[in-house]
Structures are given as C-alpha cells and as structure tokens.
Chain A
Amino acid sequence: MRDVCVVGAGMSQWGEVWRKSFRDLFVDAARAAMANAGVDHLDSLYVGCMSGGLFVGQEHIGALMADYLGMAGIPAAHVESACASGGISFRQAFIEVGSGVSDIVMAAGVEKMTDCDGDEATAALATAADQEYEVFHGATFPGLYAMMAHAHMAKYGTTREMLTAVSVKNHFNGSMNPNAQYPFKLKAKTVDNSVMVADPLHILDCSPITDGAAAVIVCSEDVAKKTGKPYIKVKGSAVATDTIQLAQREDMTTIKSATIAAGKALEMAGIKLGDVNFAEVHDCFTIAEIMVAESIGKYKPGKAGPAFVAGESALDGVFPINPSGGLKSKGHPVGATGIAQIVEIYKQLTGQAENGRQIQGGPKVGMAQNMGGTGASSVVHILEVA
C-alpha cells in the first residue's frame, strides 16, 4: 500500500444553522477543504452521514452531494456507521488512495439535525442502539451512557468531579475554536447544577444536537507535494465492532471496540501509544472520554478520571485530549464528527490551530477515535507530520 496524505481541511458553520440546508452545509465544508488544499478536482467522494433519511428525509446522499458540488459524474457513496460514519468515510478514502485506485478523494461528513423536532432527533439518534431490545424499553442515548457511567462509578469510584472536569476542559478548548457551536467556557458549578437528563448525567455532560459538515482531501504523496500546501500522513487506520446491546458486553465499563481498533491502528503505524502526542476522542458524553482514554490503553481502568482532574488532558497537559473542544463544545453533527476530528489533527500537526488552541512543542503524531452507538463500532486513525 502506498503512502496516503491529508492536504486540506474545511468545515461549515456548526450549530443551529437555520439558514443552511443539508446540501449547503456539505458544499460549504467541501469548498473550504478544496480551497485549503489547492485542488480543483476529485477522483471520488465519500460522504459520512448517520441518517439523512430520518433527519431530513433524504437518502442517495453520495449522488446529491456530488451534484451540488458541481461534480456530477464522479463516483460518490454515502457510508454509515451511526456516529462513526465520518471515521468510516475517512477510512474508505484512505483505502481507495492507498490501493492506487484514486489519487484525490474527498472524505466528508454531514448531518442536518435541526430540521426536525427534538423528539424526532432523539428517535433518529436512538437507531444507533438495538431498536427491539433497548430503544423499545425506553432507553435513550443519554440513558445508555448514564448506565455505563453508573457501572464505572460503582467499579472504580469515578466521581461527579471527574465527569465535570471533562466538560470544563472541552469548553475551555472549544472557546478558542471559531467553528465551535458553543465557544464559551463553563464553570464546574454550572455543569454540576445543570438539569439532570439521565442519572448521573446532566445536560452539560451531553454533546448537543448540531447542524454541520466537515471535509478533508485525501491524496497520494505526489499530489500532496504538487499542491505546495502543508500535508500530513495517514499512518494507521482500523475499525472494530462489538455487540450492539450494552447488556451483552462482558464489561460495561470499557469500550472493547476502541481497544481493538486502537491496537490495530498503532500496529499498522508501527508505533506505540507513548509516541502519540495528543488525541481527538469521541466525547459524546463526559463518561465516554474517560472510558475511551482507558480503553485505548492511555490509562489503566479507573485512572483516567483522576488524571483529568489533575489536568493531564488539558492543552498544556502531558497528553492533550480534544484540543478542538470535542463533541461537547464544538458540537456533534453525528455523521460529520469523525471528519472534524481529522480536521483538528490536520490543523494541530501543521501548526494552523486558531486562537491560542495550538498545542505547544510541535506535536508530531495525533490519534482520532470515533465511535458509533455505545461503542458497537469504533474507528481509530493515526496521523503523523510528513
């Protein structure tokens, strides 16, 4: 397999973007990525989207987006793995370029979540869980992660202070991200006093409902060099799956799919986790960031929470996590999230992170971990400076 690079990245506005349609969000991100990369054509397009069908009644998304990008004719496909759809989109582009089938591929992700009411959005998101044996009984996504949180608290003594630390840190980072939906800092007591959604998770433990898109240009090193723009290399890529139902996991306090995918991606990259300088992880809920940091092997079970309270995951900590602000502050347009993680890693590794969000000391290697449902799928990528 030949070397695969990322040479440009773009995002649309993220938030409750009432003036922009599903297709406009995609086109905004796609144009930004192509301009940033300095490329004027694509060999093919992948669009990660969890559920255009349920959120806006639109499928056939690959063709739609290629058409409105002004490129009808190119190969295009929609890929889906719930909230990990973006990560899968990036992996498909990586495989297509690595195999030599294409030289320039766009990996994009998009979700338009506010064209339906909250009840419909909750129902659409719930399709990432087992419809017949979890959702049927009244489980919601905050509820499922709340059950994981209670199990983690009971087994390891994880506390409210540790969960709150994740939210406060991500909002601090996101306050410096011009694309973030909620670019403001939060005080710990604001998180602690926010409305309880599903015990023990408060509303400020949860990522929001977001409209948004993100896109990156994945290409061969020859193409990357010709653009004259800064580029990075994709060193490892892996996906793993697990039981769809939480109840059927041997251990509900760990994300096995993240463990498997991280291990395989590191093996492919030929490096150890200690060589990775920072990570963007899937903090759909505060407990998820704690569980993922442990599941990828960065911390022993039960040790991530105390380390986060001590500041180890802060921008200036030993292992910064979610310098972008994460899903919590930046927003979580589910199909776009996995691509936005790559956007942030591209910016960090090429020294382009805005407003003081740049990790100091010249990070060389970043990891992206994107997951679907309660961890029934996980995608991990390792990216490195060229």
Chain B
Amino acid sequence: MSMFSARNWREYPQRYRMEAVKFKKSGKTYFPPRQIDPTNGDTEFEKVDLPETGKVLTFTVIRVAPSQWGDMSPYGIAVVELTDGTRLMGQMTDVDVETIKIGMEVRTEFRRVQTEGHHGVLSYGYKFVPKWY
C-alpha cells in the first residue's frame, strides 16, 4: 500500500503514543479508537494511554516476508494482551525468533516499523521486546 504522509501522520497518536479510548458507560477500552462502543452504542469516551507491558497470547515467525520487511526477515509478530486487558498486534524485536513463546512477557518500544518503497516514507511505531531486555 502506498503510504502518503497524511495517512501515516493521522495515526501518530496510536502508533507513537498508543492512545486508546475508554467509553463512559461500559468502561471498556478500545485500541485503535472507535467512535461507537459495540457493546451498547455509547458514543461518549475519553482518551487513555495504554500500559506498556503485557504478554504474548499467540505469535508466528514470518519467514517469507513482503518487500517492506525483507531486511527484517525472519521476524516475529504477536498478539499481545496488555496488563489492562487490551489486545493488539505488533512485531517482536531484539529477540531470537526461535525463543518466542505464548505467555512470554513483553514491553513496548518505539521503533521503525517499515520503509515504504514507492514514496520512501519511514513509518515508526510500537514493537514488542522481551520484558527483561
């Protein structure tokens, strides 16, 4: 996908600061933010920052990678549950991919995620590293 700068910039609050929304009625947190709480239709929410630690719920190691990530292959990618229960997907880094396990404790770090070839936009965001790293 072409990564025009506005498309990347628009997501900075989530990619750089992990801003989520917490709905008033249900108290549920969603990441990325939604305008409507799917549990009850509520549209009133406040911004919250997500916690920076969690654990791996499931993962894979991508060994045949699309070109944007060719220089990182093989790389781990995981669904992580943060300490507040919010779940999100992201790459694993600074880790031997053969040691990634379900249940592994991780924390987020700010890293370069991809280099889009056509427009040359560098995209940054969160990645997961082992908690003890």
Question: Which residues of A are interface residues toward B (Cβ below 8 A)?
Answer: 119, 122-123, 126-127, 131-140, 142-143, 146-148, 150-151, 154, 195-201, 245-248, 252
Number of A-B contacts (CB under 8 A): 92
Task: Judge if B36 is at the interface, Cβ distance under 8 Å.
Answer: no
Least CB separation from B81: chain A residue? A247
Of B62, B67, B90, B102, the contact of A143 (CB 8 Å cutoff): B62
Whether the Cβ atoms of A151 and B58 lie closer than 8 Å is yes
Of B14, B58, B75, the contact of A138 (CB 8 Å cutoff): B75
Whether the Cβ atoms of B60 and A198 lie closer than 8 Å is yes
| List of B residues within 8 angstroms of A143 by Cβ | 60, 62, 77
Whether the Cβ atoms of A198 and B58 lie closer than 8 Å is no
Whether the Cβ atoms of B102 and A138 lie closer than 8 Å is no
Given the complex of chains A and B, what is the CA–CA distance between A197 and B61 in angstroms?
Answer: 8
Whether the Cβ atoms of B77 and A137 lie closer than 8 Å is yes
Whether the Cβ atoms of B88 and A154 lie closer than 8 Å is no
Given contacts A123-B1, A133-B32, A138-B91, contact A151 B62 (CB under 8 A): no
Of A136, A151, A198, the contact of B64 (CB 8 Å cutoff): A198
- Please report which residues of chain B, range 45-66, place their CB below 8 angstroms from some CB of chain A when the two chains form the complex: 57-66
Whether the Cβ atoms of A137 and B90 lie closer than 8 Å is yes
Question: Which residues of B are interface residues toward A (Cβ below 8 A)?
Answer: 1, 11, 14, 32, 57-69, 72, 75, 77-79, 87-91, 102, 113-114, 123, 125
Least CB separation from B127: chain A residue? A137
Whether the Cβ atoms of B79 and A138 lie closer than 8 Å is no
Given contacts A132-B11, A139-B77, A245-B89, contact A122 B61 (CB under 8 A): no
For the complex formed, measure the closest distance between the CB of B27 and the CB atoms of chain A, giving whole angstroms: 17
Whether the Cβ atoms of B66 and A140 lie closer than 8 Å is yes
For the complex formed, measure the closest distance between the CB of A288 and the CB atoms of chain B, giving whole angstroms: 15
Given contacts A136-B123, A138-B66, contact A150 B60 (CB under 8 A): yes
| List of A residues within 8 angstroms of B125 by Cβ | 136-137
Least CB separation from B80: chain A residue? A247
Whether the Cβ atoms of B58 and A148 lie closer than 8 Å is yes
Least CB separation from B61: chain A residue? A199
| List of A residues within 8 angstroms of B91 by Cβ | 137-138
| List of B residues within 8 angstroms of A246 by Cβ | 79, 89
| List of A residues within 8 angstroms of B58 by Cβ | 147-148, 150-151, 154, 252
Least CB separation from B67: chain A residue? A119
Whether the Cβ atoms of B89 and A137 lie closer than 8 Å is yes
For the complex formed, measure the closest distance between the CB of A140 and the CB atoms of chain B, giving whole angstroms: 6
Given the complex of chains A and B, what is the CA–CA distance between A195 and B60 in angstroms?
Answer: 15
| List of B residues within 8 angstroms of A201 by Cβ | 60
Given contacts A150-B58, A247-B88, 12 further A-B contacts (CB under 8 A): A134-B89, A136-B114, A137-B91, A138-B66, A138-B91, A146-B60, A148-B58, A196-B63, A197-B63, A200-B60, A246-B89, A252-B57
Given the complex of chains A and B, what is the CA–CA distance between A138 and B127 in angstroms?
Answer: 11
For the complex formed, measure the closest distance between the CB of A348 and the CB atoms of chain B, giving whole angstroms: 35
| List of B residues within 8 angstroms of A146 by Cβ | 60
Whether the Cβ atoms of A147 and B60 lie closer than 8 Å is yes
Whether the Cβ atoms of B79 and A252 lie closer than 8 Å is yes
| List of A residues within 8 angstroms of B59 by Cβ | 147, 150
Given the complex of chains A and B, what is the CA–CA distance between A247 and B87 in angstroms?
Answer: 6
Whether the Cβ atoms of B62 and A198 lie closer than 8 Å is yes
Given the complex of chains A and B, what is the CA–CA distance between A200 and B62 in angstroms?
Answer: 10
| List of B residues within 8 angstroms of A138 by Cβ | 62, 65-66, 68-69, 72, 75, 77, 91, 113-114
For the complex formed, measure the closest distance between the CB of A331 and the CB atoms of chain B, giving whole angstroms: 19
Given the complex of chains A and B, what is the CA–CA distance between A143 and B69 in angstroms?
Answer: 13
Whether the Cβ atoms of A140 and B62 lie closer than 8 Å is yes
Whether the Cβ atoms of A248 and B102 lie closer than 8 Å is no
| List of A residues within 8 angstroms of B67 by Cβ | 119
Determine which residue in B11, B60, B65 has the highest number of CB atoms from chain A within 10 A of its CB, and name it: B60
Least CB separation from A122: chain B residue? B66
